Structure 1
Amino acid sequence: MSSSNSRLHTPAASTSTSTSKHWVDPAALPPAPSIDVTTISGNVPDYAKQLVCNVFHAYGVGSSDQQFGYALGRATRFVDMSVEHSSERAGRMEGTTVAEVAVTKHMLNGAGMLHGGCVTYLIDNCASTPLVLLGIMSGQNGVGVTQGMNVLFHAPAPIGTVLRIISSSISMGSRVMSARCEIVDKASGRVVASAFLNKMQPVPPQSRL
């Protein structure tokens, strides 16, 4: 269950579909299926957790089992979502999300280890979520599109490994935002992969005229 934190800015859940404030409004996306946000720990309200899951499922999972990453996305579960005031940057907040997924047969490469493409998929979609969360909690657009990422592979992960994907925001500007991510073996704590992700806010076509 989520706990309250009076220091956090907790705006009312948005129901507007206007694009004047958000290029993509998380509240306008369909609800993520089979998600019980009350099982996700963290200090943000349940509506914010739901909106983050909505964005993750809309872009990282999709609505058809014919779409890339559908099975992996549906198997990935968030276990914590939090926003804290940074101890190093006065007046700044940092969003953090933690997700988990077990390595299954369809995630393996020819050597029987977690495929690098699966790692990149998980990083792209999971590392985006702390930015979405921070945007929801601060009244900004945290969705955007991926501009680039730098991924380091540290150790293999065989079938049955439970991956813990820890992502946190770094910076959030009006056009460019960044996050970091670590994928670790939950049982051993060994780092499987780490990455930095850059996202950008697309310019609406009408603003270019």
Structure 2
Amino acid sequence: MPVASSSKHTLSSPQPHPQRQPRKEKAWVDPTALPDDLDVDVALIGGSAPEYVKQLVCNTFYSYGVGEPDVFGYAVGRATRFVEMSVEPAPDRAGKMEATTVAEVTVTKHMLNGAGMLHGATLTYLVDNCASTPLVVLGLMTGTNGVGVTQGMNVLFHAPAPLGTILRVTSTSISMGGRVMAARCEITDKVSGRVVASAFLNKMQPKAKL
């Protein structure tokens, strides 16, 4: 029989595995990959956001949000113009930033319902697209993708808007997470200041392939 060795067998320490780098998922929509919208002069857009951010937000709004001429709401979306995009420290939230965008659009006949007032579907379309833009601004300023798909919105209708009303759509970011984000929106009559509607919008960043 073989004789067991009297020497003590020493186990070597396990070698650490190479550090695994987290896989970076492809963005659902990358604002930097969209073509410049040549119909927009970002120099005319006020606010503290850098001009490159204003351009990328407009690219995202018109290319992804509005889309091509034969899709739903195209005329309403293309008629909407941004007048301000800003990003500032968030009040009462140390270290956080808050983005605001302001857009304007005039109510035309094809936006009306049978009673001659702004149709609720038109208004909801404006909320969905416009309230998304401060999230894109904030994402570009903080290195987070702020483009997502809508999970839900809560819209309150306060007053009618007849033909010719200039709507002022003010949207502000509320929160920005890795996947979930939220914004609020108020639509007013630019001339009278009357509130037409207010809303909250929740969005999420899906995987590139649904």
Sort the TM-score into its range (normalised by shorter chain): 0.7 to 0.9
TM-score by length of 1: 0.86
The answer as to 2:90 corresponding to 1:86 is yes
Is the Cα contact below 8 Å between 2:26 and 2:207 reproduced in 1?
Answer: no
Distance between the aligned counterparts of 1:86 and 1:30, measured in 2?
31
Shift of 1:59: 2.2
Shift of 1:23: 3.1
Does the residue aligned with 1:58 lie in a helix, a strand or coil? helix
Is the Cα contact below 8 Å between 2:159 and 2:197 reproduced in 1?
Answer: yes
Shift of 1:103: 0.3
1:1-209 to structure 2, matched below 5 A, reads 20=25, 22-64=27-69, 66-205=70-209
Does the residue aligned with 2:77 lie in a helix, a strand or coil? helix
Shift of 1:60: 2.4
TM-score by length of 2: 0.86
Is the Cα contact below 8 Å between 1:22 and 1:140 reproduced in 2?
Answer: no
Shift of 1:89: 0.5
Distance between the aligned counterparts of 2:208 and 2:108, measured in 1?
40
Does the residue aligned with 1:99 lie in a helix, a strand or coil? strand
Q: Which residue number in structure 2 is paired with residue 16 of structure 1?
A: none
Distance between the aligned counterparts of 1:21 and 1:183, measured in 2?
34
Does the residue aligned with 2:78 lie in a helix, a strand or coil? helix
Question: Cα RMSD between the aligned structures?
Answer: 1.4
Shift of 1:175: 1.4
Distance between the aligned counterparts of 1:58 and 1:204, measured in 2?
17
Distance between the aligned counterparts of 1:203 and 1:63, measured in 2?
23
Question: Between the two proteins, what is the percent identity of the paired residues?
Answer: 72
Distance between the aligned counterparts of 1:40 and 1:124, measured in 2?
21
Distance between the aligned counterparts of 1:194 and 1:180, measured in 2?
8
Is the Cα contact below 8 Å between 2:186 and 2:197 reproduced in 1?
Answer: yes
Change (3 A) 1:204 1:27: closer
Shift of 1:58: 1.4
Shift of 1:20: 4.0
Shift of 1:63: 2.4
Runs (4+) of structure 1 exceeding 4 A deviation are none
Does the residue aligned with 1:121 lie in a helix, a strand or coil? helix
Q: Which runs of 5+ in 2 are unaligned?
A: 1-23
Distance between the aligned counterparts of 2:80 and 2:130, measured in 1?
9
Distance between the aligned counterparts of 1:103 and 1:29, measured in 2?
29
Does the residue aligned with 1:80 lie in a helix, a strand or coil? strand
Q: Which runs of 5+ in 1 are unaligned?
A: 1-18
Shift of 1:204: 4.1
Change (3 A) 1:203 1:60: closer
